Amino acid sequence: MPAQSKFNPLAAFALALGLFLGLAILKFGNPVILDQKIIPPETLADYLTSFWPTHWAAWIGLPFAVVGWGLICRYQLFRAAPPARRGGDMEAKPLVSQTWLLWLLPLVWLGWQMISSTTSVDHSLTASTLPQFAGCVVVYLLGFCLMNRPPLMRWLLAGILAAFTVCLMEAVDQRLYEFPINHQNLEDGEKSQWTNLPPSMVLELKKENIIVTTNGMDIANPAIMAKFAKGRVYGTLVYPNALAGIILLLLPAAIAIAFNDTKKLKPFIRGAVIALTMGLGAVAFVFTGSKLGWLLAVAAGGLMLFRLNWPTRWKWLALAMVLTVGLGSFAVRFHHYFAAGATSAGARLDYWRAAVQTARDYPVLGTGPGTFQKPYARLKSPEAEMARLTHNDYLEQFCDSGLIGGLTYLAWIALALTTIGRRIWVRGDYLSVALFIGLLAWFVQGLGEFSLYIPALAWTAFTLLGCLAGLPANEFDKNPAKR
């Protein structure tokens, strides 16, 4: 028998795709509808430190779609056996063996978005949104068709978790160093009427709206100063709740890997890895100040407890402790917010009311993908602030693309999560279960956020969703769960 090649194209593709998604976490953390407001980087420092225009993500991701389609044709449609190791554990299964609705529904949803776009009330917003939606479907199908094996999922996660670590470190740095220093510098600059800064820097700060002119005087933007004072971090993403979303999505998998893949290390090194993983994630999460995220984190922690190989009585006792500590600390942490009237929750209710009315007024095709801000400007309460997105991914589908668009998206996500849950909860390995818990928390957070419109979040989540949805049922017969 001829020697097998050491090069595995599926493993190489999984690693490359993971690195691309890692780049998205670091550079494409803005909603696509804000693309026109992002200033393209010009210098090397800008490329390293600034957001990149979100439409760049589609162009950078296009080669992955082309190469991925080639690999699907080779290993799926024509059923060619890929290079395998250890008994073929990286072999891809033919598409016909999968639940057909799991790949048909996203295609129908994307097709309906394109139909809805023909009657959009703002074609520029829709033109920015459609590539984002197409990217969600493409990476989902790549995960579903190609990355549906645990070894390949590990290659994929290498790049994702590396970028995730950088994002968490950036978030902690913001809270401990960047925000306090910037706050102090702006206070000092305002007191000295900006004579302590070079004129070129003052002009740049005015251009970025950090310095504003009021009553003929240049002052630090009060909104910016309030942001620094609150200290809510966002890492490499658009705002704190988005950072909470990526932590909910990826931290369970990072913790599972830290506990289970370090058993051969020395106890001190293993303990340090576990402590660093949990500590960095927990500290960054607390610094986000996300209220919905906090509740979802408590629920996710409770789910993870029931996968431990403990006596049932101990599991219930641990769950009671998690709920007591988690909900008690939530009440203490956010008591000022609720005492002030829970303003952000009230604002979301106004968004949702307008979205329901829009869906009722445009039941067939909606107003067009990504266009919620247009009807909301007309329907919002007089005292409400303007919003560009509904802060509910599911409801926005109904108002932007009508009843069919909303139902198709809802059916796709519900079917994928229930299928994955049935397959892996009892017999899945620790990594698959951790990824499922993260995905479940992320999609529930979509009831109050707009993560579907952020490439860093949505493309990562849908890739992992595809990986788990594509796992064949007989995978669990060969790989019993590590309870």
Question: Is 157 within a domain?
Answer: yes
Position 273, amino acid: V
Is residue 371 in a domain?
yes
Structure tokens at 477: 């017969």
Residue 325 lies in a domain: no
**Whether residues 377 and 399 fall in one domain:** yes
- Rounded to the nearest 5 percent, the helix, strand and coil shares of the chain are 70, 0, 30
Tell whether 171 and 203 lie within a shared domain.
Answer: no
Mean pLDDT, residues 148-173 taken together: 94
pTM: 0.89
Closest C-alpha among 373, 362, 442 to residue 402? 362
pLDDT of residue 473: 56
pLDDT above 50 (res 239)? yes
Give the DSSP H or E segment for 160: helix 150-173
Q: 340: which residues sit within 8 A by CB, 6+ positions away?
A: none
With 80 as the cut, is the pLDDT of residue 300 above it?
yes
Looking at the structure, tell me whether residues 188 and 254 fall in a common domain. no
Q: What is the mean pLDDT of residues 200-223?
A: 82
Sorting pLDDT into bands at 50, 70 and 90, what band is 363?
very high
Distance separating alpha carbons of residues 456 and 294, to the nearest angstrom = 21
Confidence band of 61 (pLDDT split at 50, 70, 90)? very high
Residue 442 within a domain: yes
Instruction: Give the mean pLDDT of 70-98.
Output: 56
Q: Token match 């048909």: residue?
A: 104
Tell me whether residue 136 is in a domain: yes
Please report the pLDDT score of residue 480 as a whole number: 43
- Of all helices (H) and strands (E), which one includes residue 214? strand 211-214
Mean pLDDT of the chain, nearest integer: 87
pLDDT over threshold 70, residue 78: no
DSSP 342-380: -HHHHHHHHHHHHHHHHHHHSTTT-S-TT-THHHHHHHS
Whether residue 93 is predicted with pLDDT greater than 60 in this model: the reply is no
- Distance from C-alpha of 94 to C-alpha of 476, rounded to nearest angstrom: 17
Calpha distance 368→366 (Å, rounded): 6
DSSP state of 50: S
Q: Dump pLDDT digits (tens) for 241-274.
A: 999 999 999 999 999 999 988 888 898 999 999 9
Pair (225, 248) in one structural domain: no
Print the domain residue range for 441.
9-177+240-282+367-478
Residue 324: inside a domain: no
Q: Is residue 390 part of a domain?
A: yes
**Which pLDDT score is estimated for 339?**
64
Whether 470 contacts 148, CB under 8 Å:
yes
The label of the residue with tokens 């490439």 reads: 455
Q: How many CB atoms lie within 10 A of CB 158?
A: 13
Among 412, 459, 463, which residue's Cα sits nearest to residue 107?
A: 412
Tally of domains within the chain? 2
Residues 168, 199, single domain; the answer is no
In a domain, 147, yes or no: yes
* Closest to 31 (Cα-Cα) out of 59, 60, 51, 61: 51
Element (H, E) at 219: strand 217-220
Please indicate, yes or no, whether residues 198 and 251 belong to a single structural domain of this protein: no
Task: Say how far apart CA 44 and CA 28 lie, in whole Å.
Answer: 17
**Which position has the higher pLDDT, 19 or 49?**
19
Do 391 and 467 belong together in one domain? Answer: yes
User: Rounded to whole angstroms, how far apart are CA atoms 378 and 161?
Assistant: 42
- Are residues 216 and 83 part of one domain? no
Q: Calculate what percentage of the chain has a pLDDT beyond 90.
A: 55
In the predicted structure, residue 341 carries a pLDDT above the cut 50: yes
Question: Does residue 185 share a domain with residue 172?
Answer: no
Same domain, 141 and 93: yes
Residue that finishes a domain, picked among 160, 195, 229: 229
**Is residue 233 within 8 Å of 240, Cβ to Cβ?**
yes
> Residue written as tokens 């994630």?
281
**267 shares a domain with 159:** yes
In the numeric block, which tokens belong to residue 230?
Answer: 């609150």
Q: What is the CA radius of gyration of the chain?
A: 23
Query: What is the mean predicted confidence (pLDDT) over 170-181?
Result: 92
Check whether residue 215 and residue 156 sit in a common domain.
no
* Helix, coil or strand: residue 136: helix
* 193 token code pair: 């009427």
Beta carbons of 10 and 90 less than 8 angstroms apart: yes
How far apart are the C-alpha atoms of 232 and 174, rounded to whole Å?
9
Higher pLDDT, 152 or 5: 152
Say whether 40 sits in a helix, a strand or coil. coil
Amino acid 482: pLDDT: 43
Which amino acid is it at 159?
G
pLDDT: which is higher, 187 or 127:
127
Q: What is the pLDDT of residues 393-444, one digit of tens each?
A: 999 999 999 999 999 999 999 999 999 998 888 777 889 999 999 999 999 9
pLDDT at res. 194: 83
